[in-house]
Amino acid sequence: MRKRLIAAIIAATTALTLTACSNDDSSGSDSLPDNVTEFDVTFAQEMIPHHEQATEMAALAQDRTTNPAILDIASRIEAAQDPEIETMTTWLKEWGVPEDSTNEHSEMNHGQGSESSMPGMMSEEDMSALKDATGTEFDQMFLEMMIEHHEGAIIMAKTEIDSGTNPDAIALAEQIEAAQTTEIAEMEALLAP
């Protein structure tokens, strides 16, 4: 999983750099509000499906484990990320851009139109395996996959912090980075023998 994450980081960084270098003001960015850039739009467009997958993973815990620590962290993930999804969806409506990241505003869209290009996203096979697991097998898979998923979200948040301009989006990115860094440490401790 670590190799996949490193490959995703390299791909995202390369595509982001190439896209940023090739963009000019004729890409439609002039229609965005004054305090919003394409980086802010991309952050929201891509973090929404990223969060949706995390909440889907967290919801699986309810009937697949009895481990109170896993149930607790899964519950906190859902409680934090559902409102963040609503917030980002509202921003996109206010900014006049679609929720789908396969549009002209997307800085990190690698031309694939696929969520799998986002760092930390699980494949359909990963999700199926997690859905099929129960008990300690589920616990192990959930922790490993959610750590990787959170690491991807942190990469996306750092891109927004470094390149975005919208104060609300940057504040949310900082909140995501802090919360998910803490949760990674908790999950790593649960994985420790």
With helix as H, strand as E and coil as C, how does the chain read? CHHHHHHHHHHHHHHHHHHHHHCCHHHCHHHCCCCCCHHHHHHHHHHHHHHHHHHHHHHHHHHCCCCHHHHHHHHHHHHHHHHHHHHHHHHHHHHCCCCCCCCCCCCCCCCCCCHHHCCCCCCHHHHHHHHHCCHHHHHHHHHHHHHHHHHHHHHHHHHHHHHCCCHHHHHHHHHHHHHHHHHHHHHHHHHCC
pLDDT on residue 192: 86
Query: Could you tell me the domains of the chain?
Result: 2-10+39-95+119-191 (1.20.1260.10)
pTM exceeds 0.85 for this model: no
pLDDT of residue 90: 97
Q: What is the pLDDT of residue 100?
A: 81
pLDDT at residue 107 tops 50: no
| Average pLDDT rounded to a whole number, residues 91-107 | 74
- The reported pLDDT for the residue numbered 116 is 54
The 10s digit of each residue's pLDDT in 108-142 is: 433 334 445 799 999 999 999 999 999 999 999 99
Q: What is the chain's mean pLDDT, rounded?
A: 84
Query: pLDDT band at residue 3, thresholds of 50, 70 and 90?
Result: low
Q: Render pLDDT for 41-96 as a digit per residue (tens, 0 to 9).
A: 999 999 999 999 999 999 999 999 999 999 999 999 999 999 999 999 999 999 99
